[in-house]
Chains A and B, each alone.
Chain A
Amino acid sequence: MSGSHNDHHNSEYDYNIHHILSGPTSRNVFLFLLGMTVITVLAAKIDFGASWNFALAMLIASAKAMIVTLFFMGLKFDSKENRVFFYSSFIFVTIFIVQTAADIFTRPAGYKVVGDPLKTVAAAGGPEFKRPWEPSPEMNAVAKNLYDVNCAVCHGVDGGGDGPGSNLPVKPRNYKVADGWKNGRRPSDVFLSLQNGLAPYMPAYPQLSANERWALAHYVLAMGPAPTPDNADSLKRVGILDASRDDGGVAKQAVQRKIPRDFALERYIQSGQ
């Protein structure tokens, strides 16, 4: 500290509160930061595998951050309290990131996204139909109600793809035309689109039972030209192994038994007492 007129006050503090960063030190820090920027850009061009590239980039960024905080922000010369305050915030940031990662990246497959487990299975219950992969008048009646509630907003009441919610960059399907169905026009294709959703905007419908999805598939296909018929192979994809039998030749499709939410909550609350 050169030429300061505060020297006589400094005895009250165990560090120099008016430390002046020298020209050469500032310059060296500046050159270090530039050099590290070059290194991080070059390192990113080499493929070490996504995780290692990321780890290396974060290591270099943290080295830069350390130098900025120690010298430009003067924490090296600052009070212990300020150093502890500031770096402790980084510790909390790390805890936040590590805890979140520990949760998200250790979930079993299929449980990655909140709500996703439901998307992979059919809802239990729903109407019972024999041979639901073939259209029937009973199914048609069920489907109309479901369509008006779930689908018409985007796809339009008449299936023209022109509902009030159809103003999207990728337009909802117009069921009246046969061209351009991304997954094909067999009933099982539509069944799968309802089960899995269709990027980017068509959501999956986990709340519908398998039979409800079959009913909707026939319903929307009937809005346009005759659909492509299913065959033994296409039906196998959706778990129908023998189409000649009323139950499809398989035991009931795997369903997730759902505990009623109120009951589950009650049990949960009781378990905590």
Chain B
Amino acid sequence: MGAPAHHHSSDKPQEGQVNFHHAHHFKNADEQFVTAKLGMWVFIMQEILFFTPLFVGYFMYKGQYFPSFHEAAKSLDPVMGAVNTVILITSSFTMARAVSAAQRGNREALKENLLWTILCAIGFLVVKYIEYSHKVHDGLLPGSHFNNAELLGVAPQAPLFFAFYFAMTGLHGIHVLVGVGLLTWLWFRARRGDFGSNYYTPVEMTGLYWHLVDLIWIYLFPILYLVG
């Protein structure tokens, strides 16, 4: 996905369009778009497989230390998890609206929906921060940093559970953080007028990434908070 090249073009942009010319090694703008999207899907596949070992490891150890993991999972707050689920679903909705707005060349709606998405993402991180502070306060840290003798008494493998909890939600949280950065970058570019109905590749690709972040949380939430 290349930045819009502001070459001189004989085609004057129409209403809702931007001055965009595809890179010279592509036949046309559509070919460039389809190629970018294929690359994005390959990246997303890689992301899925990148998260999978954590899920597999979690299932494996949960099967082996079921009573411990079951006890330890009770320290998670399902209300916080549910709130964050609703926040992420809402952000996926506003992201989908942002992409549609970009495709229609509606800059104001694009900016507005990007802003809502950013706010949701920040809201998600705030809830996560509150959760993490409670865990730190209660000594529920991974591995050798675990410092909660009470839980350890009933759940000897609790440190391992929290190693998975922090690795899985932490890696996901980093993705949310990266998403905030990408969305903010999109908002500034949208304000500058970079996107129109004939060029919105970065909005579409960030949208795919953002829905992936939602997708992973859709599985993390029940696995960790509901059926621990």
Chain A residues near B (Cβ < 8 Å): 2-6, 9-10, 12-13, 17-18, 20-23, 26-27, 29-30, 33-34, 37, 40-41, 44, 50, 53-54, 57-58, 60-61, 64-65, 68-69, 71-73, 78-79, 81-82, 85-86, 88-90, 92-93, 96-97, 100-101, 104-105, 112-113, 168-170, 199-200
Shortest CB distance A170–B (Å) = 6
Shortest CB distance A63–B (Å) = 10
A72-B95, A86-B45 are contacts. A33–B89 as well, Cβ < 8 Å? Answer: yes
Whether a CB of chain A sits under 8 angstroms from the CB of B187 is no
Shortest CB distance A51–B (Å) = 10
List 30 A-B residue pairs with CB atoms under 8 Å apart, sorted by A's residue number: A5-B198, A12-B30, A13-B30, A17-B37, A20-B104, A21-B100, A26-B97, A30-B93, A40-B221, A40-B222, A41-B82, A41-B226, A50-B66, A50-B70, A57-B226, A58-B219, A65-B219, A68-B214, A72-B211, A73-B207, A73-B208, A78-B37, A82-B41, A86-B44, A88-B45, A89-B49, A97-B52, A100-B59, A104-B60, A169-B148
Interface string of B53-66 (1 = CB under 8 A from A): 10110011001101
Cβ-defined partner of B48 (8 Å) among A13, A26, A89: A89
5 more contacts with CB within 8 A, not counting A23-B100, A68-B215, A78-B37, are A12-B31, A17-B34, A61-B218, A65-B218, A101-B60
Q: State which residues 177-228 of B face A: CB under 8 Å.
A: 197-198, 207-208, 211-212, 214-215, 218-219, 221-223, 226-227
Interface-central residue, B16, B149, B152, B227, by most chain A CB under 10 Å: B227
Nearest first, the 9 closest Cβ-Cβ pairs linking A and B are A199-B156, A44-B226, A57-B222, A30-B93, A89-B45, A9-B30, A33-B89, A200-B156, A54-B227
Task: A40 to B225: give the CA distance in the assembly, Å.
Answer: 11
Shortest CB distance B110–A (Å) = 13
Task: A88 to B152: give the CA distance in the assembly, Å.
Answer: 41
Chain B residues with CB under 8 A of A13 = 30, 34
A72/B92 in contact, CB under 8 A: yes
Whether a CB of chain A sits under 8 angstroms from the CB of B124 is no
Tally chain B residues at the interface, Cβ within 8 Å.
67
A34/B222 in contact, CB under 8 A: no
Cβ-defined partner of A53 (8 Å) among B55, B64, B100, B227: B227
A6/B29 in contact, CB under 8 A: yes
Whether a CB of chain A sits under 8 angstroms from the CB of B165 is no
Cβ-defined partner of A9 (8 Å) among B29, B64, B70, B215: B29
Task: A197 to B147: give the CA distance in the assembly, Å.
Answer: 20
B198/A20 in contact, CB under 8 A: no
A101/B59 in contact, CB under 8 A: yes
B82/A10 in contact, CB under 8 A: no
B30/A50 in contact, CB under 8 A: no
Task: A110 to B215: give the CA distance in the assembly, Å.
Answer: 37
A17/B89 in contact, CB under 8 A: no
Chain A residues with CB under 8 A of B215 = 65, 68-69
Whether a CB of chain A sits under 8 angstroms from the CB of B33 is yes
Cβ-defined partner of B89 (8 Å) among A34, A96, A104, A113: A34
A60/B222 in contact, CB under 8 A: yes
Chain A residues with CB under 8 A of B208 = 73
Chain A residues with CB under 8 A of B45 = 85-86, 88-89
A3-B197, A65-B218 are contacts. A30–B82 as well, Cβ < 8 Å? Answer: no
Task: A93 to B51: give the CA distance in the assembly, Å.
Answer: 10
A9-B28, A23-B100, A73-B211 are contacts. A93–B222 as well, Cβ < 8 Å? Answer: no
A105/B97 in contact, CB under 8 A: no
B34/A79 in contact, CB under 8 A: yes
A68/B218 in contact, CB under 8 A: yes
A93/B49 in contact, CB under 8 A: yes
Interface string of B148-159 (1 = CB under 8 A from A): 110010001001
A58/B222 in contact, CB under 8 A: yes
B14/A5 in contact, CB under 8 A: yes
Task: A89 to B41: give the CA distance in the assembly, Å.
Answer: 11
B149/A113 in contact, CB under 8 A: no
Closest to B34 in A: A17
B82/A20 in contact, CB under 8 A: no
Task: A112 to B63: give the CA distance in the assembly, Å.
Answer: 9
Interface-central residue, A10, A26, A168, by most chain B CB under 10 Å: A26
A68-B92, A93-B52, A200-B152 are contacts. A57–B99 as well, Cβ < 8 Å? Answer: no
